[in-house]
Amino acid sequence: MSKRVALVTGGTGGIGTAICKQLHDDGYQVVAGYYAGGKHEKALAWQAELAKEGYDIALGFGNITDWDSCNACIENIKKDFGSVDVLVNNGGITRDTTLRKMTPEMWHEVIATNLTSVFYMTRLVINDMLEKKWGRIVNISSINGEKGQFGQANYSAAKAGMYGFAKAVAQEVASKGITVNTVSPGYIATSMIMEVPEEIRNQIKSSIPVGRFGEPQEIARVVSFLAGENAGFITGANISANGGQYMH
């Protein structure tokens, strides 16, 4: 039997890389989605670096804020490997500032990248999954979609939107062997966190009961579980992995 195909958007980023490695180890043909403003060199270097560690991961170019570009990405994957069995909607950005300073561009950029992209990609893979009567959609949301965050009205709104989307689609496809779930990481040690000013970062760290930031692998393992055969009864759910920073 040929390998199941897993697409991870934002696959070359901090959490994305850990998810790609984990799903590769789980036996999937993994495709790391990337955009990088159309610059391919960084993604190729990432791929080469992982190849040295023994990871055979394909690259899938696509601007997740653009329907046609997403469509081309999915079509290329279908040509090379077959249709997508596991979609991890992981790509996302921040444009943090208080609402009084937030521009319409900062709002739209975050909503397009973090939420509209989830509709585009899921919409583009769902019919093939329905036909196969098997599929896994895992959306990477955030603790800040659950609790809100000072300086993140755009990001918190987009991440919270993922829950409604997942729960609605989960109901539509549940009888066809497809699950749709969300993972909500807390503060994970990646470059996104390093963009937060040091003083604020230290304050955030001190509010995490386990006393540290999370590791990307700790999110990847949750994704691996939800993507697996044994998680077929879990759908429309959200799993928080935040070191106890927000319990609800």
**Interacting residues toward ligand CAA by CB under 6 A:** 94, 96-98, 101, 142-144, 149-152, 155, 187, 192-193, 196-197, 200
Q: Is 34 a catalytic residue?
A: no
What's the token pair of residue 84? 């997508």
DSSP-based helix, strand, coil % in the chain, nearest 5: 50, 15, 30
- For ligand CAA, give the closer residue by CB, 14 or 135: 14
Cβ 200 to ligand CAA shortest distance, Å: 5
Q: How far apart are CA 207 and CA 244, in angstroms?
A: 9
Active-site residue among 155, 163, 187, 246?
A: 155
Cβ 197 to ligand CAA shortest distance, Å: 6
What's the token pair of residue 199? 């003083």
Instruction: Report the b/e string of 195-231 with b at 16+ CB within 10 A.
Output: ebeeeeeeebbeebeeeebbebebbbebbbbbbeeeb
Cβ 92 to ligand CAA shortest distance, Å: 8
- For ligand CAA, give the closer residue by CB, 38 or 104: 104
- For ligand CAA, give the closer residue by CB, 53 or 198: 198
Cβ 59 to ligand CAA shortest distance, Å: 24
- For ligand CAA, give the closer residue by CB, 114 or 179: 114
Show which residues are catalytic.
155
